[in-house]
Structures are given as C-alpha cells and as structure tokens.
Amino acid sequence: MSETVLLVGGGGREHAIARALAPDCDLYACASNRNPGIAELAAEFETISETAADDIVAYAESVDATLAIVGPEAGLAAGVADALDEAGIYTFGPQAAEARIETDKAFQRRFMRDEDIPGNPDFATFDDMEAACDYIDEYDGDLAVKPAGLTGGKGVKVIGDQVTPEEAKAYLRDSDYERVVLEERLVGEEFTIQAFVANGEFRVTPAVQDHKRAYEGDEGPNTGGMGSYTDVTPSLPFMEDGDYEAAVEVIEAVVDALPDYKGILYGQFMLTTEGPKVIEFNARFGDPEAMNTLPVLETPFLDVLVAAREGESLPELDFADQATVCKYAVPEGYPTDPKAGAKIEVEVDEDAGALLYYASVDARDDGLYTTTSRSFAVVGVADSISGAEELAEDALAAAGDGFHIRHDIGTEALVQQRIDHMADLRDE
C-alpha cells in the first residue's frame, strides 16, 4: 500500500525529512512559512501554523494521510501529535506529555533524578528569581542558567563562559521567566546522538557536533546552530572508545523509563573527564543535526515510520561510511540584530556532493530573500570530514552577499582543537 505522509514544519530540519521521505511515499506538507525546498518535493503544501492542531488534523484528513511526522518542538508542545493520533493518523512524534522531556527543563531534570538516568548534573529549580540569585551566590562553582521552557536554543547563559555571576543575576532579574533551572557547568566537548524510538525500541544515528556560537572560534552569542559535522564512523574524532556507547546507554535508560514514547529522542551530551553528561534532551530532530544524519541514512526512513505504526520491530539502520559537514548561511547581524531582505541566489550542484537545505526564507515574485532567522544550509558529504568541509565551502562560494557563515566549522584546525581540548582535560 502506498503511504500518504503529512509533514508538519517548514525549516531546514523539515526539508531534510522531506528529502528522506519523498522518494518512497506521497508527501504532503504544512507550515506557517512556505519552504521552497519542501514545496518542490511535496504533492501539496498548505500554509498552516505548526501549532494549530485542529487545522492540521483537518488538512491531514483532507489528503487521506496514513502517517504524519511533526518536525518542530512548538507543534509537539501544542499537542499536534496528540490530535493527529486521536484522529487515527499515526504520528511519529511524542504526545505532549512525553515531549515535556524537551519542553520543560525542570521536568527533564527531575525525571532524570527520579528514574536514575545516568549523566544528570547537579541542579536546582526556581520560580523565585531572587532565590535563584541567592543560589548563584552560594554555589561553589560555575552554573548554567536555563529557562525551563522553550527558547529556541538561545536562552541559556553559562557563568564562567558567557557571563559573570553578576551578569547572570541581572539576566534573571530582567527576565520574565516563570521558572528557571540552575545546573552545574559541564566542561568538555558537546555532541548529540539522535534515536528513532517506538514500541519500547530505539535505533541510534551517528554522533554529531553542533556549533551554537555565532562567530568563528566559538565566539559570540548562542544561536539555533551555525553548523555541524559527523565522521565516517558513529563516533567523533575527540571521543575515545566507549564514549559513544556510554551515551547510548543513557538514551536506553530514557526509553525504558518512557515506554509510550515515539518519534525522535535527541540527546545532547557533554563529554567530560567522567564520561558523557546530559546537557538536555529534545523530542525531535535537531536542526542542523537532521541534515547531517538523514542524507547518509541508507535505510528508507519511511520503513521506520511504518514499522512504528504497525507495532513491529524497528529496522536496523544502515548509514553510508561518509562524513558530513553542514554550514548555515544566516542574515548579517544574526541572532541579536538580524537584517532581512538580502536576495538569495545560491545554486548547488548536488552531483558534486553538496546538498542545499532551505530554512527560513521569504519567497517573492522575483526570487528568495532572507528573513530574520537562519536562511539555508549547505551540507558536504565525502569520505572524510575535511573533504566534506571543502565541498560545503565550494557550494557556499555562490551564496552572494548579505550572509554570515562560520567558515571554520569542519576544518581540520577546529576539529584538532576539539581533540586537543579533550586530551588536555584528560591529562589534568
């Protein structure tokens, strides 16, 4: 039977999902923005807010969708998966109760503590900002300050890295956050592992290292992600034997504790001298991490969704033995003062080994223009990280003006810095 799949969301992550699904199904899509890459792959693209559950269900029913997948966390938090499931359309994405593992960071930490999930740092939660400020004064060490709710990856402030204790307290006092989590600052190298989860099973993807800081050399404010890379193996160059497996054991513990979870479980880890510690969990693909892992997935992604719906064992995942490097082009001034309106004129020869993913763009009669969010990403796929980085850079050479790009992502120099950093920490 041919499957009709509804994809909810219009960003770069969803463009990657669309590429992975479109060859094997009848694909329909809906989002608040019209992503030209998704529109080209889908039989139909409807403009609907990602959080408008009733409207999404109505559209899904109108196209006779047999499966659905929700890309962005806002839709999951709004109960879109709940509504689609209730309408009889199996949705590969957690219902709102399980999505709290991302949407409520205070819940996330308490869940890890109560379920004895390994890798949980010291933490405390507050709904009184003055009490949180007192905790900063009293704590022996540096802290990460996290709003409990969703902030698009831009709300965290790390004492000893981004801010001083006084600046952290000012940040809390000036904010309108209802709840915050203060947790020990983790020192090491970050990485992500994404898992496909259903029916109490999970299948993991290669580790990815994302780059949140806006500017080269890991300087500047946090962003939604400026780019990322994978290696030809599931591990990364700065990891030792057993590090990847230790992180997978954390994911296994979460799946065991959430037997009804379905969809993507994204574990963001800090590799410390004590092994992987959990920075956070997300309840969906990462953006940009989806653009690293899905292009090298050789198992049809649709097979995962169908097996999940049918209650069958999830297929084992086969990945090409290739590295990927993703680099985002963002508007000048992003993320603090982004300047929209630059014309996008990039063309990528995908036969050469680079892939183009559209994210947040404004489609006008005379072409595509930047908005105030990330515009598009280019992913190089090759037999080494350095080879993939060269392909991404070659493709970005045609991006035109009005963009900011972190050109150092995936370079041999930056990867070596990561290796040296972990070596130094282990020797201390």
> pLDDT digits over 70-115, tens only?
999 999 999 999 999 999 999 999 999 999 999 999 999 999 999 9
- Measure Cα distances from 392 to 53, 153, 329 in Å: 37, 24, 11
What's the rounded mean pLDDT across residues 198-208? 98
Whether pLDDT at 1 is above 70 = no
pLDDT for residue 346: 81
- Asked if pLDDT for residue 152 goes beyond 80, the answer is no
Q: Looking at the domain that runs over 189-417, which CATH code has it been given?
A: 3.30.470.20
Query: Strands 143-147 and 180-184, how do they pair?
Result: antiparallel
Class of the CATH domain delimited by 122-184: alpha beta
Q: Which of the residue ranges 195-204, 363-372, 375-384 would you say has the lowest mean pLDDT?
A: 363-372
Kindly list the domain boundaries of the chain, sorted by start residue: 4-95, 122-184, 189-417
- Collapse the DSSP code of 47 into the 3-class scheme (helix H, G, I; strand E, B; otherwise coil) and give the result: strand
Which range among 352-366, 381-395, 400-414 has the greatest average pLDDT? 381-395
pLDDT value of position 99: 97
Least confident of 97-101, 175-179, 328-332, 349-353: 349-353
Judge whether 228 and 258 are in contact, CB under 8 Å.
no
Determine the Cα–Cα distance for residues 275 and 191; give it in Å rounded to an integer: 12
pLDDT, residue 401, reads 75
Query: Strand 67-70 and strand 4-8: pairing?
Result: parallel
Check residue 232 and give its pLDDT: 98
Least confident of 188-197, 208-217, 389-398: 389-398
Which of 152-156, 236-240, 322-326, 403-407 shows the lowest mean pLDDT across its residues? 152-156
Query: Is the preceding peptide bond at 234 cis, omega within 30 degrees of 0?
Result: no
Q: Which band of pLDDT confidence, cut at 50, 70 and 90, is reported for residue 353?
A: confident
Q: Where are the beta strands (DSSP E) in 148-188?
A: 157-158, 180-184
Tokens of 410: 């995936």
pLDDT on residue 153: 64
Per-residue model confidence (pLDDT) at position 365:
85
Please give the average per-residue pLDDT across 103-128, as a whole number.
Answer: 95
Q: Is the pLDDT of residue 162 over 90?
A: no
Say how far apart CA 165 and CA 96 lie, in whole Å: 34
pLDDT attached to residue 255: 98
pLDDT at 151 over 80: no
Mean pLDDT on 383-403: 90
pLDDT score of 328 more than 70: yes
Q: Is the pLDDT of residue 351 over 90?
A: no
pLDDT in tens, 213-236: 999 999 998 899 999 999 999 999
Mean pLDDT of 27-39: 95
pLDDT category at 349 given cuts 50, 70, 90 is confident
In contact, 335 and 342? CB cutoff 8 Å: no
Which of these ranges, 2-16, 265-279, 335-349, 407-421, has the smallest mean pLDDT?
335-349
More confident residue, 339 or 384: 384
**Is 263 a residue whose pLDDT tops 90?**
yes
User: What's residue 155's pLDDT?
Assistant: 82
As a whole number of angstroms, the distance between CA 405 and CA 212 comes to 12
Mean pLDDT of 266-281: 97
Q: What percent of the chain has pLDDT over 70?
A: 99
* Mean residue pLDDT across the chain: 95
Please say whether the structural domain 4-95 has been given the CATH code 3.40.50.20: yes
DSSP state of 297: B
